[in-house]
Amino acid sequence: MGPFKHLAMTCSLFLASVPLAVGQTFSSDRLEFRLETVAAGLAYPWSLAFLPDGSALVTERAGRLRMIRDGALEADAISGLPELVVSGQGGLLDVLLHPAFADNRTLFLSYAHRTGSGMTTRVAKATLQQDRLENVEVIFEALPRSGSTRHFAGRMAFDSSGYLYVAVGDRGEMDRAQDTADDAGGVHRMTVNGEPAPGNPGLNNSRINDTFYTWGNRNIQGMTVHPDTGDIWTHEHGPRGGDEINILRAGTNYGWPEITYGIDYSGLPITLDTRKEGMAQPLHYWDPSIAPSGMAFYTGSLIPEWQGDLFVGALKLRKLVRLRITDDIVREEEDLLTDFGERIRDVRMGPDGALWLLTDASNGKVHRLVPAQ
């Protein structure tokens, strides 16, 4: 039995074991739903991963990896994390399970790291044994480093071939996103050991770093796999306006900062161009910015009204966006949780059929979104 089938079988375990604090009910175009609080007291939770035994791992940007087991947040953090730094937008970021986690207990962490040369985004793999990480190994480090504390990106995903995708932001230094000899401002595709994946566009081109898959990306904080096509979908922060949803294609330049639908924070234009030959157009964009973070397709049976829809969390505008997309065109867009008042950091499809959300706060929470009835 594969690990993803094993995960699907944990649905009843989750429903039976999570002690729920039932919150308010919300309305949407297609159904009434409510939020159930699973855990609270987390310091800026950033990512969530479901384990085959029905427990879940939660990263705190403040530098801790936590476990929700038997429906409760354990008091003690997982030990053995790699050395990392918490500064600005950096800290402990994404957690992702190896596709064969049920057999090898391997997981991957993205995080900010500092040396005398500055800060950067790193990825380490490790083995989870009880409540400790062992065999911790750094497999990727974006170079060069810089003094910036912004735009680490850090979202990760696996494709159907078992290759790992890692997003690295432009570090707040926008021109780096067009420099393919600089690891900033793009998505890197690699094996589980950090080696360049076969077929990467830079393998036969000395001007492109060999782990690059795409570039011209500003700061990706949403990454998910399309349930039907297997394509990797991302979204990224624009400046003032120009948040984008993109489908990753090998060797594609997504344009930042040569083209954008946003303007500088000062109010001045970054560029007058929204299109250029050889640069991809987004599937969808927001203007004004919503500050997107977290991203998941709904694939469960608990809420059939939302089957196949894409959900995106929003930090700045404090909401959850539902998108119905067919033929790569947004046919419906609905804002949810607009009265909730919380910054949504991550959105995950749970093995129980619920949507799981993380709120970005010093007292961050883990919520399940379920039908009201």
Side-chain-side CA neighbours of 148 within 13 Å: the count stands at 18
User: Which residue type, as a one-letter code, is found at position 207?
Assistant: R
Mean pLDDT, range 124-147, rounded to an integer: 98
pTM, two decimals, is: 0.95
Q: How far is residue 177's CA from residue 279's CA, in Å, rounded to a whole number?
A: 13
> Where in the sequence is the domain holding 189, given as residue range(s)?
3-371
Q: What angle do CA 141, 285, 330 make, to 5 degrees?
A: 115
| 289-307 pLDDT per residue, tens | 999 999 999 999 999 999 9
Q: Give the phi and the psi of residue 199 in degrees, each rounded to 5.
A: 90, -5
CB atoms within 10 A of CB 177: 27
Of 129, 145, 38, 44, nearest to 86 by C-alpha is 44
The domain that holds 291 is classified in CATH as 2.120.10.30
Q: Which of 98, 113, 151, 284 is catalytic?
A: 151
Cα separation of 190 and 206, whole Å?
Answer: 17
DSSP state at residue 107: E
Residue 107: Cβ-neighbour burial (10 angstroms; 0-12, 13-18, 19+): buried
**Contact between 93 and 152 (Cβ < 8 Å):** yes
Query: Which residue, 76, 49, 44, is CA-closest to 62?
Result: 44
3-class state of residue 134 by DSSP: strand
Structure tokens at 325: 């997309």
Based on the residue annotation, tell me whether 151 is a catalytic residue of this protein.
yes
Q: What is the pLDDT of residues 81-106, one digit of tens each?
A: 999 999 999 999 999 999 999 999 99
pLDDT attached to residue 12? 38
The band of 343, judged by pLDDT with boundaries at 50, 70 and 90, is very high
pLDDT at 13 over 50: no
Under 8 Å between Cβ of 268 and 231: no
Q: Is 192 in contact with 125 (CB distance < 8 Å)? A: yes
Our count of domains for the chain comes to 1
Give the whole-number percent of the chain exceeding pLDDT 70.
94
